[in-house]
Amino acid sequence: MPSFKKISLGFLMAAAISVQAQGMVTAAMGTRAVLKAYTDADGKSETASLNVKDISFPLKIFEISEQGFVHVKVASQDVWLDRKQIRIPPESLEVSCLTVDRTNANLVTAGIRGANAGCK
């Protein structure tokens, strides 16, 4: 039975790790007073406009879509916000390091500030 306990503990730890937030939304971008909220990750169906003063930042990020929308909860409601309208500090995002061929490394990372900083 000790091995079953270790396996169960391993599954519980893996589940806890996968539930962790990917980052935090700390504010609206610039002097924006209103954020558009969407019900889908594609930003095709706008539900409402959210007054920035009524949002209690920071907001936990649950997911970031490939289209650039961020899944958060505002007033206990699941919504998607346009990433271009919000501020996400880079240090709050979970980033993994990728191995890049040395011959192409300068080409790949030349225009990305801090691209290799998290891999040291």
Q: Quick one: pLDDT at residue 27?
A: 92
Of the candidates 1, 7, 71, 4, the residue with the CA atom closest to the CA atom of residue 38: 71
Extents of the domains making up the chain? 22-112
**pLDDT, one tens digit for every residue, the chain (120 residues):** 444 444 443 433 333 333 334 689 999 999 999 999 999 999 999 888 999 999 999 999 999 998 999 999 999 999 999 999 999 988 777 656 555 555 555 555 555 555 556 565
Q: State the architecture of 22-112 in CATH terms.
A: Roll (2.30)
Q: Quick one: pLDDT at residue 74?
A: 95
Q: Quick one: pLDDT at residue 49?
A: 93
Q: Quick one: pLDDT at residue 36?
A: 94
Give the dihedral sign, CA 26/52/60/70.
negative
| Tokens 């916000």 belong to residue | 81
Q: Quick one: pLDDT at residue 18?
A: 34
Q: Quick one: pLDDT at residue 92?
A: 72
Q: Quick one: pLDDT at residue 84?
A: 92
Q: Quick one: pLDDT at residue 87?
A: 93
What is the reported pTM?
0.61
